Amino acid sequence: FIFANFLYIFSLYTINYMKVGIIGSGGREHALCYFIKKSAKVDKIYCFPGNAGTSKIAENIQADLNNFEELKNIIIEKEIDYLIVGPEKPLVDGIVDFFEKHKIKTFGPNKIAAELEGSKIFTKKLCQKYKIPTADFGVFNKSADAFKFIESSNFPLVVKADGLAAGKGVYICEDKNMAYQAIQEVFGGKFGLAKEILIEEFLDGEEMSYFIISDGKTYKKFQTAQDHKRVFEGDKGKNTGGMGAYSPSKLINEELDRKIISKIIEPTLKGLIDFKTNFKGFLYAGLMIKNNEPYLIEYNVRMGDPECQTILPRLKNDIMEVLEGSINGELENINLSWHESKSLSIVLCSKGYPDKFKNEIEIKNLDNLDLKDKEFIFHAGTKMIEDKTFSNGGRVLNFVKQSESYKKSREDIISLINNLKWENGFYRKDIGFKAIDK
């Protein structure tokens, strides 16, 4: 009895003790912040730099995300226990290695593992070595060789710059002229110094995002989603960061899930171990599905945005326990459970995005919106100026709803957006059309 009492008193001291830092400023990070805030273990959250949404539940701190030394000083001063990294760039730059060296517990893959996103050629070579299904490809280090290759190729084909290019750097080429120009642009340095170029077979089928979370020893599935990258309805127009998503994907079934795990995820994790490292954090496989067969298009070493905002409301677990489990190598003991409902997100963007758009347009009605159960608004490009919310980017707000059908989720979101009446905004009304409007 005394022991039980002791445990009880001890537990009183152990709840609400954690200080958490979150790196990033998008909808993904606001969603992480929102659910981390709900954790009984978390006392205070700092966002680097966050947005208007995070400023209401956490403390935003302006810092140069490229300056790890400066970040470290703030993290030590604020006594932050865990650092959660949202976007890819700091991961690819080695933020996890840096902070681990300074004994700060950081969520995400190390620099070598982050090459899965940082270098498309690294990933393709891994696919080749471990027989992971992916588009056939060639790597060229001279433009003359690349030009020669396209002379005898079938079209369409895909030309890719190797490194991070913020969603750009991928050319779907319909003919030789387009491929010629793409090769010139990549070797011309449009996406930074290019020593090599990747040319690959065009895969047709339907795209799906598949997520896992790993602690370096074991992993747990973290759901599926379908994203809408093009700016206009019907998947037309330029590529964007993502205009909306839904989860789960309509394509997933048990057999496909088994194939993805056995042909793609597990060989990748094993491949990294052969590289003398392992994968910690979220791993996001961008897949092409054709006739219920998965092909790897690319890896990302983080959650997707807006997939994160769409998936997290489905998670029943305390997200902080899950992230902690990944950091501390204790995921094995955690069973993830999910709401079976249909989650859908729509991104409200600034008119003109992804090209030129105006910033600092006030969003007036936000506090008047009546959010019902399972409805969420996650901020992306927003900032507060004297208690008022202003736009601060191309993708501004994410509206998310979970319900019994994608159609209902979408209708309810659209009525929320209509009630907001933000005159500088536009959005796609057809998110989920392949699952809803067949």
Q: Which does 300 bind (CB under 5 to 8 A by kind): ligand AMP, ligand GLY, none?
A: ligand GLY
- Residue pair 303/28 in contact by the 8 Å Cβ criterion: yes
In whole angstroms, the minimum distance from the beta carbon of 295 to ligand AMP comes to 8
Contact status: 242 vs ligand GLY (CB under 6 A) = yes
Closest CB to ligand AMP among 282 and 376?
Answer: 282
Q: Any alpha helices (H) in 56-198, and if so which ranges?
A: 68-77, 88-92, 95-101, 115-118, 120-130, 143-151, 176-187
Vertex 254 angle, CA 248 and 260, to 5°: 80
In whole angstroms, the minimum distance from the beta carbon of 245 to ligand GLY comes to 7
Q: Which does 203 bind (CB under 5 to 8 A by kind): ligand AMP, ligand GLY, none?
A: ligand AMP
In sequence order, which residues have a C-beta less than 8 Å from that of residue 323 and are 6 or more positions away? Answer: 36, 82, 84, 107
In whole angstroms, the minimum distance from the beta carbon of 317 to ligand AMP comes to 29
Vertex 153 angle, CA 194 and 120, to 5°: 35
Q: Which of 81, 305, 375, 412 binds ligand GLY (CB under 6 A)?
A: 305
In whole angstroms, the minimum distance from the beta carbon of 305 to ligand GLY comes to 4
Q: Which stretch binds ligand AMP (CB under 6 A): 80-88, 199-207, 244-252, 386-394?
A: 199-207
259-298: which residues touch ligand AMP (CB under 6 A)? Answer: 286, 297-298
The amino acid sitting at 385 is I
Closest CB to ligand AMP among 85 and 198?
Answer: 198
Over its C-alpha atoms, the chain yields an Rg (Å, rounded) of 22
Q: Which stretch binds ligand GLY (CB under 6 A): 173-181, 298-306, 327-335, 414-422?
A: 298-306
In sequence order, which residues have a C-beta less than 8 Å from that of residue 100 and are 6 or more positions away? Answer: 106, 110
- Residue pair 354/231 in contact by the 8 Å Cβ criterion: yes
Contact status: 200 vs ligand GLY (CB under 6 A) = no
Paired strand residues for 48: 23
Q: Which stretch binds ligand GLY (CB under 6 A): 142-150, 158-166, 249-257, 297-305?
A: 297-305
Contact status: 330 vs ligand AMP (CB under 6 A) = no
Which residue has tokens 């409007």?
437
Q: Which does 200 bind (CB under 5 to 8 A by kind): ligand AMP, ligand GLY, none?
A: ligand AMP
Q: How many CB atoms lie within 10 A of CB 348?
A: 26
Q: How many whole angstroms separate alpha carbon 278 and alpha carbon 280? A: 7
Q: Which of 224, 300, 343, 424 binds ligand GLY (CB under 6 A)?
A: 300
Paired strand residues for 362: 390
Q: Which does 336 bind (CB under 5 to 8 A by kind): ligand AMP, ligand GLY, none?
A: none
Contact status: 196 vs ligand AMP (CB under 6 A) = no
Closest CB to ligand AMP among 35 and 171?
Answer: 171
Closest CB to ligand AMP among 297 and 416?
Answer: 297
Vertex 166 angle, CA 163 and 171, to 5°: 75
- Residue pair 304/345 in contact by the 8 Å Cβ criterion: no
In whole angstroms, the minimum distance from the beta carbon of 124 to ligand AMP comes to 10
Q: Which of 47, 203, 308, 380 binds ligand AMP (CB under 6 A)?
A: 203
In the structure encoding, which two tokens stand for residue 198, read together?
A: 């990747």
Q: Which of 115, 227, 375, 412 binds ligand GLY (CB under 6 A)?
A: 227
Q: How many whole angstroms separate alpha carbon 269 and alpha carbon 216? A: 8
Nearest to 115 by CA among 274, 298, 257: 298
DSSP label at residue 68: H
The answer to whether the Cα torsion of 89, 93, 98, 100 is positive or negative is positive
Q: Which of 75, 158, 213, 303 binds ligand AMP (CB under 6 A)?
A: 158
Q: Which stretch binds ligand AMP (CB under 6 A): 200-208, 339-347, 392-400, 428-436?
A: 200-208
Q: Which does 384 bind (CB under 5 to 8 A by kind): ligand AMP, ligand GLY, none?
A: none
Residues near ligand GLY (CB under 6 A):
227, 242, 300, 304-305, 307
